[in-house]
A and B are shown apart, each in its own frame.
Chain A
Amino acid sequence: MATTTLEPRASAYRRSWVLDWLTTVDHKKIGVLYIVNSFMFFFAAGILALVIRSELAVPGLQFVDESTYNQAFTMHGTIMLFLFIIPALSGFANYIVPLMLGAPDMAFPRINALSFWLLPLGGGLIFSGYLFGGAAAEGWTGYAPLTSSRYSEGVGTDLWIIGLTLVGMASILGAVNFIATIFKMRAPGMTLFRMPIFVWTVLVTAMLILLATPVFAAGLIALFIDRNYGGSFFDPSVGGNPILWQHIFWFFGHPEVYIVILPAMGVVSEILPVFSRKPLFGYKAFVFATIAIGLLSWSVWAHHMFTTGSVFLPFFSFMTALIAIPTGIKMFNWLATLWRGKLMLTTPMLFALGFISMFLIGGISGVMLASPPIDFHLQDTYFVVAHLHYVFFGGSVFGVFAATYYWFPKMTGRKLNERLGKVHFWIHFIGFNLAFFPMHQLGLSGMPRRVADYSPDAGWTILNFASTVGAFMVAVSIIPFLINVVATFINGEPAGNDPWEGNTLEWATTSPPPPHNFDTLPPIHSERPLFFLTHGHGHAAARPEDLEEHQSDDVERRDGLV
């Protein structure tokens, strides 16, 4: 092949930096856009959380009135779930999945850009309710008939519906893209059972999004027709059925829970092996457990509806409890990965360990709630709030931060500062538990969720105050994180290609990777191609002399590549 050096036509390629980001179809830039956008929404929804906690710190209405309070928790839940956690994990998936597969981009780069840009649009619409007489205030679950035009007149609820529909379309297009990418864009040698666990979790998540979100869209459209065109889907006075909304919402909403948690599990399953210096224990069992959770998630939705008296309790209780089995398998796999490892407690590892220890609590309280008689007492109390925050915050958000610290070097070429990272982790971890653990007891003693006020005679004041202190600690912990990100951008420690001695292909290219991702791909013989490259089959080195052998081996391999 004859080589010619192509001179770039300098003037032709000069584009403004802003325009470049606005029009990009590069999965890496889109991934960064997703992540930055998600964190913006995280801060907004976090401020709403502080409004909620401030109001509840002591009995009485001190800061906001009931209506403002109801808008605050509705927006907090909606934004955190639909515009922070899911898009943040989608952003990491967007950046990392093609790299992990050895692919140059996503399958449909332009659709990828579209599905990103629908997000700020949809999120903006949801928030814009505040400009038009008040945002939606019916809770993120939007139960009929409270959401009907009779009980919620404002345009805020309509904007909520339209915004969520756009966000849902974005998710569906994103899911199509992920599945097509995973099935069609894998590098030679990257068989399905050599894919990193993160890719597997993204695949199952995308399947759930693909099949669950359209049902929610149908429900949102039905609600919109009821509100604006005189429809009566959910209006009992003319033959509609308000329970139908709960069925539709949770038929989507429970797979949604796994949409939120599965990619975070994937992140943790990448991080634990790297910093334990061992492979993930039981790779295939983990994959099948992920698929099992995906399948079971279709048959458990009505456990959110035990107290409605409209569902068959034994079936949904049993199916819900069954989910504990694949989840338990995953938990044991993570623990066995730690067992006899050589643990390096870096910040991503701390967040990953935080994930498994906090998600455990959310999982246990979830199994407790699967028992109908216990649920009759705890449903719609702060126990449920505690449970869902241990899953979404202790689980998914810890996963998001673990991913941030883990992949930041790949995305920017610079490593976040470890000392600040650990300060962030510990304030975050302690604040999180202080904020949400007391809620278990509040719920057990009967404090309902979504109340703007409570009686000083109920004995809930001390725990609520503790919870508020914890919420502010979590907010404070974001300060070292932000300082860390900014300082690292300005003057961070250069990361090199592979700062963590990673296992997967994203570490086989430069940091940040070039637009086409890989100049060269290592051979792929296992789910840890990079580990293989360094250590061979890796049945390692118990004695120092073996190690020396391996190191020389390593050098040879490296030489062979260059």
Chain B
Amino acid sequence: MSARTMQAQPAGERQAEAAIAHGGSGMPTALVGMLLFIASEVMFFAGLFATYFNARATSPGEWGPPAGAHELDLPLAAVLTAILVASSFTMQFGVWAIRRGDIGKLKLWTAMTLGLGVLFLTGQLYDYSVLGFGIGDGVFGTVFYTLTGFHGAHVFGGAVGLTIVLARALRGQFSARNHVAVEAVSMYWHFVDVVWIGVFSIIYLLR
């Protein structure tokens, strides 16, 4: 068998570097990764939504919180929805700011987004504390807390990401050309927002 010999040469190294550089065209690799990760998250929530609809279809009797517990607080949930949707706007304003290279505005908008996110989580925890039924109280309790709880956990994850972005922004680490982390976190934040609109619609509106 003939072995094909290849010897190291500077030209070849340039070619190998070109292979890396090739990844530079189009969307940054990190954002591709984030989009793919979000796709898998979509399927995760699709699974949870499926359990919700299945429980609703097979559960005997009236669908809703167990007898004796409070009804769901629709006005509070609507306010929380407005807060989260607003935070998506503030996030996007931050992204547009840094695309222009305006790091000052990025700090401002990111801080506002983070504040709104924390407000949302606080509101949700308050809601849990007054509902008067738990995850073990019938299949409605189970799917309600699982869906809203896992969504809340994702908001928390997004808030951690926002904190990191804010900390890095405060150190001046972003610029108009270099802000992939801001774009990635904003994608994730929008995704979390969209999931909440789904959760809100099926649990609170589609009764």
Contact = CB atoms under 8 A, between A and B. Distances in A.
A534 B140 CA distance: 67
Contacts of A143: none
A520 B11 contact: yes
A509 B5 CA distance: 9
A176 B1 contact: no
Given A187-B19, A517-B16, A239 B51 contact: no
Contacts of A183: 32
A520 B8 contact: yes
A231 B36 contact: no
Interface in A478-498: 496-498
Contact of A530 (B4, B11, B41): B4
Interface stretch (B42-50, B106-114, B123-131): B42-50
Given A108-B33, A239-B55, A225 B20 contact: no
Contacts of B54: 241, 244, 247
A328 interface: no
Interface residues of B, number: 53
A508 B6 contact: yes
B75 interface: no
A519 B55 CA distance: 59
A186 interface: yes
Point out which of A102, A184, A530 has the most chain B C-beta atoms below 10 A from its C-beta.
A184
B14 to A, nearest CB: 9
Contacts of A213: 40
B3 to A, nearest CB: 4
Contacts of B22: 184-188
A393 B58 CA distance: 39
Nearest to A209: B40
Point out which of A214, A517, A533 has the most chain B C-beta atoms below 10 A from its C-beta.
A214
Nearest to B43: A214
A107 interface: yes
Which DSSP category, helix, strand, loop or mixed, fits chain B's interface?
helix
A1 B139 CA distance: 71
Contacts of A336: none
B18 to A, nearest CB: 6
A238 B47 CA distance: 21
A12 interface: no
Given A179-B36, A229-B135, A218 B47 contact: yes
Nearest to A509: B6
B175 interface: no
Contacts of A111: 33
Interface string B45-81: 1111011001100111100000000000000000000
Point out which of A216, A244, A507 has the most chain B C-beta atoms below 10 A from its C-beta.
A244
A244 B140 CA distance: 15
B163 interface: no
Interface in B135-155: 135-136, 138-140, 142-143, 146, 150
B29 A238 contact: no
A232 B12 contact: no
Contact of B19 (A103, A235, A530): A103
Interface of B: 1-13, 15-16, 18-20, 22-23, 26, 29, 32-33, 36-37, 39-41, 43-48, 50-51, 54-55, 58-61, 134-136, 138-140, 142-143, 146, 150
Given A103-B20, A233-B139, 5 more contacts: A185-B22, A187-B22, A210-B39, A211-B39, A521-B15
